[in-house]
Copies of this chain bind each other. A is one copy, B any other.
């Protein structure tokens, strides 16, 4: 264990501290061999479903479904929840990809785009009249910009007849998002849940289902992982195709462990760690925070402008077993990105900052 690295990367990321224990339980119980049509699998799905509903406060009537990745869910939402027009808040690579998926599926897309590093406030958002779906990215992994929960809630209240989708890929379960208000949300397991990649989680309400059934009468809503079939199967703790059983099992165990600690405590710890990171780099000579407005700074992915090439800083930290990410896209070599996920303890942050002292 001692010569292992400590990962601060934004996904795949540091694994959950008890990951190996849970993985060993999976192996010992031979869960890799059980049928996905067996009662044993249904019990696993039900357990994960219950733990996530508690953790994220998901309403009973909404469905909780599994896909291969979160990117797949972008496509499923556009196919199943829109017929013609979508509206996208874009301020980075991932929110942009969501809009590109909609365009590739033949939708007329409306885009409100902000420069990298900037965020959205409710008051400045004008939703196009004919947009059926408002696509928001609660945490833009590429730039470390968040959209506050209150702004997303206002967006839905101010546009009650439209569907609102929330990409929580790199922030769930930290945001206190009202899932009885927004229509659909989704995330991956290789970020704040600290698990190996290969599983997407999709939450959708009955309005999404109705829309899919309505559209499906006159237009293709796809073939694989269509909302009506995924939904019906999920209510029986089943999946249309053979799912990532290992991922579903591990996610349930991690969510249970988080529930034992309590999400309130986890959120407070995350905020404390984020504050420590931002305070440190705000004061450190030569460094600065990429996101200027404090209210738009992500709690889970901190993006820091570096003096000189970030690759040198990354190498210096790597030599000490500390792995931080580079900037994204054109900011690759002028920024570092530090994930502040749940698997990263306060002691890990301190170890990192101590190493940064000598940079």
* Chain A residues proximal to chain B, CB less than 8 Å: 4-5, 7, 9, 11-15, 19-20, 23, 27, 30, 32-36, 67-72, 74-75, 78, 100-102, 104-106, 188, 190, 195-199, 220-226, 240-247, 323, 325
Contact = CB atoms under 8 A, between A and B. Distances in A.
Contacts of A36: 12, 197
Nearest to A188: B242
Contacts of A226: 104
A131 B196 CA distance: 41
A240 B71 CA distance: 9
B241 A69 contact: yes
Oligomeric state, in number of copies? 2
26 contacts: A5-B30, A9-B35, A11-B242, A12-B35, A12-B36, A20-B27, A23-B23, A32-B195, A32-B196, A68-B69, A68-B72, A71-B241, A71-B242, A72-B224, A72-B241, A74-B224, A75-B223, A104-B222, A105-B223, A197-B242, A197-B243, A197-B245, A197-B246, A198-B199, A198-B245, A244-B244
Contacts of A27: 20, 23
Contacts of A100: 223
| Top-3 shortest CB links A-B | A68-B68, A198-B244, A71-B241
A31 B141 CA distance: 21
B105 A220 contact: yes
Contacts of A246: 196-198
Given A5-B30, A196-B246, A242-B188, A224 B101 contact: yes
Given A32-B195, A68-B68, A196-B244, 6 more contacts: A4-B30, A9-B33, A72-B224, A75-B224, A197-B245, A198-B198
A183 to B, nearest CB: 20
A95 to B, nearest CB: 15
A245 B199 CA distance: 11
Contacts of A247: 198
Nearest to A32: B196
Contacts of A241: 69-72
Nearest to A12: B33
Nearest to A11: B242
A23 B9 CA distance: 22
Nearest to A226: B104
Given A34-B12, A223-B74, A198 B243 contact: yes
Contacts of A195: 32
A7 B30 contact: yes
Contact of A35 (B15, B106, B198, B325): B325
A188 B241 CA distance: 11
B35 A19 contact: no
